């Protein structure tokens, strides 16, 4: 909504998976002159009085019985009578965080020789993402908008089914970032630290002018190991040491070491390098994390560094990606957009295509 547009009286409910996302969006809404708050910070009386144009919430809060009784079912309240829209942000979590995504695996126990394939689902991480269809029940005529930057066919089907969306209007925008170059490096476990040498040199040579870099790890132990290695190599009294906590959009922070949770939703426009110190556990997460790079349109890099033992703990789609014998860009994007082609400039596409660059 632009500031010069007429403001509507309705309230929009936005379901978000992360607090950092809500805080960023509330600040952006305030800059646009839009009143916004979040649950459980906003009290029910203010919500029912229509004090806010946008309410952000975790699904757990939006489906909490106290909120449902006080606001959702309150026929005398503003929220019940003036629901403008329901938005589900990062809606791929309806599949990936609820244990509904099917993962294919090779059965290697007593039937190892047969090479049989099976399928399984994982235990729900945050199961309430799968219960958001309750809002379709309460507000059948209210517009629903589900947003995600990464969804394959399976994910789309789960989203439609779980939200009870019949014949929805789907708007597809390719997830490809033409300004991002892929580099995939398989090394031995002992070489993992050495693969950060180029970054250490970059920091030493450029200091506060070092390009912004995000190092994503799958475990907290890996976060600590990568961070401690950088600090050891840079020296405890380095003028511009890397940061281990969430960065600000501005300031002197150049390098952030974090768990892969930081790979969702953060909007720092000028990240030059996203380094996966260990590939993501599935291809959807891999693209989600890589999309943190180059959001301002400038050239950027996804650098995936992994060792063989890590491959045993990931899904079939990401195994196929890192083991491809062709273009990594195609291997990453085609499951989400079959129209993707290799980059026109080979050395800007991926480290495989770079070999054939003349």
Q: What pLDDT band is residue 262 in, cutting at 50, 70 and 90?
A: confident
pLDDT at 251: 61
pLDDT at 242: 52
Examine the pLDDT at 261 and tell me if it is beyond 80: no
Written as six digits, the tokens of 84 are 């403008």
Homologous superfamily in CATH for domain 180-355: P-loop containing nucleotide triphosphate hydrolases (3.40.50.300)
pLDDT at 108: 34
Examine the pLDDT at 275 and tell me if it is beyond 70: yes
pLDDT at 153: 84
Average pLDDT score over the chain: 83
With a pLDDT cut of 70, the percent of the chain lying above it is: 85
Residues 130-141, mean pLDDT to the nearest whole number: 78
Q: What is the pTM of this model?
A: 0.78
If one compares 163 and 193, the residue with the highest pLDDT of the two is 193
CATH topology of domain 11-95+105-163: Rossmann fold (3.40.50)
Domain spans in the chain, listed from the N-terminal domain onward: 11-95+105-163, 180-355
pLDDT at 319: 93
Tens of pLDDT, residues 35-50: 999 998 898 999 999 9
């Amino acid at each position: 909504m632009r500031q010069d547009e007429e403001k509507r009286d309705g309230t929009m409910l936005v379901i978000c998976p992360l607090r950092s996302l809500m805080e960023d969006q509330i600040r952006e809404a305030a800059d646009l002159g839009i009143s916004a708050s979040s649950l459980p910070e906003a009290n029910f009386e203010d919500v029912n009085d229509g004090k806010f144009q946008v309410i952000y919430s975790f699904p757990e809060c939006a489906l909490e019985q106290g909120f449902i009784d006080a606001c959702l079912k309150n026929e005398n309240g503003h929220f019940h009578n003036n629901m403008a829209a329901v938005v589900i942000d990062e809606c791929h979590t309806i599949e990936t965080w609820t244990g509904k995504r099917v993962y294919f695996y090779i059965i290697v126990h007593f039937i190892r020789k047969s090479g049989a394939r099976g399928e399984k689902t994982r235990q729900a991480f945050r199961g309430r993402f799968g219960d958001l269809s309750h809002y379709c029940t309460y507000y059948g005529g209210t517009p629903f908008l589900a947003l995600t930057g990464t969804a394959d066919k399976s994910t789309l089907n789960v989203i439609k089914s779980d939200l009870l969306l019949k014949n929805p209007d789907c708007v597809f925008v390719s997830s490809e970032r033409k300004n991002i170059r892929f580099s995939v490096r398989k090394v031995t476990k002992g070489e993992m630290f050495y693969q950060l040498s180029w970054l250490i040199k970059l920091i030493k040579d450029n200091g506060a002018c070092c390009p912004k870099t995000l190092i994503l790890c799958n475990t907290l132990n890996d976060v600590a190991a990568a961070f401690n290695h950088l600090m050891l190599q840079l020296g405890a009294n380095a003028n511009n040491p890397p940061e281990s906590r969430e960065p600000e959009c501005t300031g002197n922070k150049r390098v952030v070491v974090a768990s892969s949770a930081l790979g969702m939703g953060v909007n720092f426009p000028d990240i030059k390098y996203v380094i996966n110190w260990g590939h993501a556990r599935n291809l959807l997460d891999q693209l989600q994390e890589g999309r943190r790079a180059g959001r301002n349109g400038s050239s950027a890099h996804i650098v995936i560094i992994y060792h063989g033992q890590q491959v045993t703990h990931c899904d079939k789609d990401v195994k196929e990606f890192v083991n491809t014998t062709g273009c990594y860009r195609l291997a990453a994007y085609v499951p989400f957009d079959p129209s993707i082609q290799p980059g026109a400039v080979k050395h800007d596409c991926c480290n495989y295509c770079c070999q054939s660059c003349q």
